Structure 1
């Protein structure tokens, strides 16, 4: 009877348990056993040689194969049984973490046309409500995502855009987590949606000025690549959408948007090392797109429009980027671009915003993001927005008006909740528009610091630290170390309310700004990708060694976390230096590097040859194979590992971590827990609701704290 009950709870049949190698004994006699996936012969072919992959069968693109589902559910059941012993701790953490969320909250409204637009949350509700207020103070609910989510296991509205006349709302809906969107149009005068929809799209939206023509992007149904720009007129059948541009080079990403002034529609074509922007006057939706500058390898740029000219951020003869300009009538020839803000070897230009009298630049120097204000054509009069904190990050808030001297920006640090400022670029005065209210949090109880670790090659690696005041640097504290280190994406020291559930229990929180990001400029990225990728992994290990040597952490209390490409980092480090970590958390990890990059039918593969290399060429094949976590699993002791994925993940397919865990189970020689959880109703970002996401974080922290208690 006990066996029947356990099988009913886990949703598995006896046949399924036998298939994956579990030993189905009554619960009273034995706990749930670790699943052992069946091995089935399979050859992965490549020009560089063939490899055997006995777990390849776990790939099911339909996500319906009963054997695959049985294995994933068995792993979930095993994890559920394991964490039952600390269920009370998980519940406590969940309450703590949710207790730091102001449940009834709203964003700072921004003015666009005749309305103030804002996002609201209501107490107890998972999803946002998008509203606007007219000049008389009347609030209108444009879109309540909670209503859309009723009856759905997953719901995300990933983009929305109001028409130029402010009477229509275009929005993109994903109800699987696979980031394949359906376009819906709502009449804001009636609150009703049009019957016609388009599906299989990316989240990008751009309006023409006629208020009836939309530009969207259709994805390839197999690779999910954004390949076709469609022009769609409201109310017409989906099949009437007209193709206006098709990208044939499958190494490019693509999206559409409007310029800040609304005068142009842009098609952005972005490759790791190349860019092309095409523009169309929004007054003439039936016209032809013009190329701002033809694509070239090792030439990147982005652009916005103001008063008849284009302002361009470009790496043209400027590895850390510079700002240039060109009149609209001169587009198509980059030789006519004129410099506005010069390149600097020690400053990386991250972003810019244009105003009638000023250019605002978000840049990186010494690993920090700060804002520089430049009056037009007078770079020598630039002013910086200063901070008194050692580690912080600033970024642009929503700035939709160009004819203003007010810049809205956000400020955050490891101890300072996200704060929205209005900065007067003419006077230098600023005011706080809103600081995120964090219940049950007192920032005066915590401190931040910066330290620098030295890599084996002598490179200095910045590290941002957070700990509670009174922390003793005596080598006794547990450490939670995070990093990402890929795609030039920098791990900035943002405020993260969840982390205080660990810091309050004595943890030091460390962000390792390793190579592969762009914290220290473009060269920091170049030295952490392609045939330099190993630097990303060794930097992380070197940071751990530094923090232990400097007595920020106890050597047996070090925990590491990374997700997606940061999950690759976790997998590589687990193979290279397993003894240095008590536990690792690998979320949606990219761990089967060679097999995935050999298969051009898998989403993202072709886009990323210039990030990882193309393994069809011998040097890249050999190099990638040397660090690929799945391929480098060996007979050795591993730390405790918690792995998570989403069945519908379109970025890192669920079968990568599934195969990795299956292989680890047959190779690891330790008794440390190896847990694998698949969210059967989500994708790359995990659960879609704000509280359900907090529950997932609570589960991770409980896993860590339980390991500490058991040692």
Structure 2
């Protein structure tokens, strides 16, 4: 690896900070990198402790000095990726009453524009111009936008710090101006009352947790808003959405194992919310409404992969649930969408999705599926309830996204949009396939693979292996135009569908959490070894990539199987697991205890997390080259996690590397705002990957 002339690596001072829990003493030499006023830093990055700022800036400068010679390559990569983006792109208009609503981008624009047109076609009118709103901000991200039921107003929200505190404003469609209303420190979501005179929102508390649902009446200050619901369990998060029929505001609360929902009749917004079914530990449910009946997706009564039940709206408690779609082991029901005459289920079996449509009048069912080896399928929702039209999207690792309108009654589909790749893309030039990797305990791990058709499988190709494996999130085998910049340079791109996700059902998730968390790490390493055995790549030719909880995967794999990899890219990596789970003031900690365990209360959980937490298991051994990327105002994975990790790695490792830290000083969990600015960060990660396998000089 050519490191060229560079600055000396920063050395973080070691300031011993021992603490004892359950009789076990842990020493954290880099605890000082956590600003004691971190809550204020989220709101105003300028108040960051000067010593911490100086250190982070030194790390950024060091990373720049090592990767600076890839600047031309990064520019090339950005140009390629941008060339695959249709700059004046637009969503398929979604009808609602007299209008059809859409989002679009202008040529050269970074941010979305929200608009509408007459339902049957005509001129598009823009009500929100993201480029204009972002012009005076260092950071800008829409939280969402929702028109009022009478189509007069548009409630919209935005975050201008990267800290995910969204401010809500209301714009008048008639004159394009915002009303005086301003609602601050929310999660960004809005549900309108039926009369359009008020809306519900979720307020974030001082620890950045969504615990309260408020109702704001137009024309009044936020201080006069009324509290509709408050959650008192700090381990539960609360969110809102409009029910399928549009009749209710659904207050959805829960953690990673248990859920509970309440309904507010939007025609009577002042009425108290009505509980559907009381929380019961380990039981999850979500609902859709149709007339006087609720359709409920739940794992109750041992339905690990979920089932669908119905209940009368007037008496929706558990005792009145009646089974409609029984539980089938290994067929995971991800979601249910309800329409006036049809129910739609999105299901996944063995990492492949399908859409099942049920005629609620006859009970007849039929499926929409595709026959590629690996693909992604998703429903897209609708503003309208009384319709036979289902909109869904399809893509594969070779096939750009396609949006279809499907008539559920006639069983006919119409292609409404195919993702355009302006610089050109021929799916026939690429191959997508799957292999199964056998993990340490015999579990079969699906691995989705993309490569050029002309690849020679001789064990020498560089390979990027992506993984996540937490929270039950599956990694779809969908299309990404960006990754073609690696694949067209000879890389194989692979996704390891490891335990901790729901790629093979809810049981696949349960086998990769808490005391079974290490299965995720072993599955990822097994996937790498299987790809080597199948001659897609070779040892030290693989670059591992993951973000957030997938960044924890990266840290654990670096400790446990680092010898397999040439490089590791860890974006906003959750690597300081033990310290974070011990700090119940952090935004996500109490809700995360069901996922990782509660080391404050449980000695067993403490020992389990301590045994794998990447930061706490850095060892005196060789490590691959590592690039850790974070954001200063990230409320999810705080900046000090990657900072502490890199500091300890550099002080402890005996060889290999280098290990690099890049902190975006003006962004949070999602990285840079703006669709093109984000490409700069992707280019850094890809340039690092090319550099790690020795390809920079050949490709820049």
TM-score range, shorter chain: over 0.9
- Match for 2:167 among 161, 164, 182? 182
The alpha-carbon deviation at position 38 of structure 1 amounts to 1.1
- Residues 548-567 of structure 1 mapped to structure 2, 5 A cutoff: 548-567=532-551
Q: Which residue of 1 aligns with 2:153?
A: 168
- Match for 2:236 among 231, 238, 252? 252
Q: Distance in 2 between matches of 1:109 and 1:95?
A: 29
Q: Which residue of 2 aligns with 1:451?
A: 435
Q: Distance in 2 between matches of 1:144 and 1:362?
A: 34
Query: Do the aligned residues in 1 keep the contact of 2:164 with 2:635 (CA within 8 Å)?
Result: yes
Instruction: Say if 2:200 is the partner of 1:225.
Output: no
Q: Which residue of 2 aligns with 1:328?
A: 313
Q: Distance in 2 between matches of 1:31 and 1:533?
A: 38
Instruction: Say if 2:35 is the partner of 1:35.
Output: no
Q: Which residue of 1 aligns with 2:27?
A: 52
Q: Which residue of 1 aligns with 2:468?
A: 484
Query: Do the aligned residues in 2 keep the contact of 1:477 with 1:554 (CA within 8 Å)?
Result: yes
Q: Distance in 2 between matches of 1:486 and 1:709?
A: 31
Query: Do the aligned residues in 2 keep the contact of 1:48 with 1:621 (CA within 8 Å)?
Result: no
Secondary structure, counterpart of 1:690 in structure 2: coil
Q: Which residue of 2 aligns with 1:475?
A: 459
Stretch moving more, 131-140 or 468-477 = 131-140
The alpha-carbon deviation at position 608 of structure 1 amounts to 0.8
Q: Distance in 2 between matches of 1:519 and 1:37?
A: 40
Q: Which runs of 5+ in 2 are unaligned?
A: 42-47
Q: Distance in 2 between matches of 1:191 and 1:428?
A: 40
Q: Which residue of 1 aligns with 2:187?
A: 202
Secondary structure, counterpart of 2:456 in structure 1: coil
Secondary structure, counterpart of 1:69 in structure 2: helix
The alpha-carbon deviation at position 377 of structure 1 amounts to 6.4
CA shift digits 1:374-421 (9 cap, x unpaired): 112655x32111212111111101322222222110101101111111
Secondary structure, counterpart of 1:41 in structure 2: coil
Instruction: Say if 2:555 is the partner of 1:571.
Output: yes
Secondary structure, counterpart of 2:314 in structure 1: helix
Q: Which residue of 2 aligns with 1:17?
A: none
Q: Distance in 1 between matches of 2:23 and 2:277?
A: 37
Query: Do the aligned residues in 2 keep the contact of 1:370 with 1:385 (CA within 8 Å)?
Result: yes
Query: Do the aligned residues in 1 keep the contact of 2:543 with 2:692 (CA within 8 Å)?
Result: no
The alpha-carbon deviation at position 186 of structure 1 amounts to 1.0
The alpha-carbon deviation at position 469 of structure 1 amounts to 0.4
Rate the CA distance shift 1:710–1:413 in 2: closer, same or farther, 3 A: closer
Q: Aligned pair count?
A: 680
The alpha-carbon deviation at position 473 of structure 1 amounts to 2.0
Q: Distance in 2 between matches of 1:149 and 1:250?
A: 34
Q: Which residue of 1 aligns with 2:406?
A: 423
Q: Which residue of 2 aligns with 1:26?
A: none
Q: Which residue of 1 aligns with 2:684?
A: 699
CA shift digits 1:323-378 (9 cap, x unpaired): 111121122x2111122111101200000111222111100112111101111265
The alpha-carbon deviation at position 470 of structure 1 amounts to 2.0
Query: Do the aligned residues in 2 keep the contact of 1:46 with 1:598 (CA within 8 Å)?
Result: no
Q: Which residue of 2 aligns with 1:603?
A: 587
Stretch moving more, 426-435 or 136-145 = 136-145
The alpha-carbon deviation at position 304 of structure 1 amounts to 1.3
- Match for 1:124 among 97, 105, 108? 108
Rate the CA distance shift 1:574–1:288 in 2: closer, same or farther, 3 A: same
Stretch moving more, 422-431 or 561-570 = 422-431
Q: Which residue of 2 aligns with 1:399?
A: 382
CA shift digits 1:132-178 (9 cap, x unpaired): 01257232211011111112111011111111111111111100111
* TM-score, L = length of structure 2: 0.95
The alpha-carbon deviation at position 45 of structure 1 amounts to 4.2
- Match for 2:529 among 535, 545, 548? 545
* TM-score, L = length of structure 1: 0.94
Stretch moving more, 483-492 or 202-211 = 202-211
Query: Do the aligned residues in 1 keep the contact of 2:341 with 2:361 (CA within 8 Å)?
Result: no
Q: Distance in 2 between matches of 1:225 and 1:199?
A: 14
- Residues 64-75 of structure 1 mapped to structure 2, 5 A cutoff: 64-75=48-59
- Match for 1:641 among 626, 630, 644? 626
Q: Which residue of 2 aligns with 1:390?
A: 373
Q: Which residue of 2 aligns with 1:530?
A: 514
The alpha-carbon deviation at position 543 of structure 1 amounts to 0.6
Secondary structure, counterpart of 1:106 in structure 2: coil
Secondary structure, counterpart of 2:180 in structure 1: coil
Rate the CA distance shift 1:355–1:527 in 2: closer, same or farther, 3 A: same
Instruction: Say if 2:653 is the partner of 1:678.
Output: no
CA shift digits 1:291-321 (9 cap, x unpaired): 0111110111001112221111111121111
Q: Distance in 1 between matches of 2:392 and 2:463?
A: 32
Rate the CA distance shift 1:392–1:31 in 2: closer, same or farther, 3 A: closer
Q: Distance in 1 between matches of 2:442 and 2:286?
A: 34
- Residues 360-371 of structure 1 mapped to structure 2, 5 A cutoff: 360-371=344-355
Instruction: Say if 2:277 is the partner of 1:293.
Output: yes
Instruction: Say if 2:122 is the partner of 1:137.
Output: yes
Q: Distance in 1 between matches of 2:656 and 2:348?
A: 44
- Match for 1:310 among 278, 294, 312? 294
Query: Do the aligned residues in 1 keep the contact of 2:333 with 2:345 (CA within 8 Å)?
Result: yes
Q: Which residue of 2 aligns with 1:442?
A: 426
Instruction: Say if 2:239 is the partner of 1:242.
Output: no
Q: Distance in 1 between matches of 2:401 and 2:77?
A: 22
Aligned-residue CA RMSD (Å) = 1.4
Stretch moving more, 433-442 or 291-300 = 433-442
The alpha-carbon deviation at position 257 of structure 1 amounts to 1.5
The alpha-carbon deviation at position 589 of structure 1 amounts to 0.3
Q: Distance in 1 between matches of 2:374 and 2:6?
A: 47
Stretch moving more, 541-550 or 43-52 = 43-52
- Match for 1:114 among 98, 110, 126? 98
Q: Distance in 1 between matches of 2:413 and 2:15?
A: 64
Q: Distance in 2 between matches of 1:516 and 1:48?
A: 30
Instruction: Say if 2:186 is the partner of 1:211.
Output: no
Query: Do the aligned residues in 2 keep the contact of 1:557 with 1:582 (CA within 8 Å)?
Result: yes
Query: Do the aligned residues in 2 keep the contact of 1:340 with 1:377 (CA within 8 Å)?
Result: no
Query: Do the aligned residues in 1 keep the contact of 2:245 with 2:339 (CA within 8 Å)?
Result: no
Query: Do the aligned residues in 2 keep the contact of 1:44 with 1:595 (CA within 8 Å)?
Result: no
Q: Which residue of 1 aligns with 2:577?
A: 593
Instruction: Say if 2:63 is the partner of 1:86.
Output: no
Q: Which residue of 1 aligns with 2:44?
A: none
Stretch moving more, 430-439 or 565-574 = 430-439
Q: Distance in 2 between matches of 1:70 and 1:355?
A: 56
Q: Distance in 2 between matches of 1:293 and 1:341?
A: 19
The alpha-carbon deviation at position 552 of structure 1 amounts to 1.1
Secondary structure, counterpart of 1:352 in structure 2: strand
Query: Do the aligned residues in 1 keep the contact of 2:446 with 2:497 (CA within 8 Å)?
Result: yes
Q: Which residue of 2 aligns with 1:13?
A: none
Secondary structure, counterpart of 1:631 in structure 2: helix
Q: Distance in 1 between matches of 2:231 and 2:540?
A: 51
Secondary structure, counterpart of 1:600 in structure 2: coil
Query: Do the aligned residues in 2 keep the contact of 1:641 with 1:674 (CA within 8 Å)?
Result: yes
The alpha-carbon deviation at position 130 of structure 1 amounts to 0.6
Rate the CA distance shift 1:662–1:588 in 2: closer, same or farther, 3 A: same
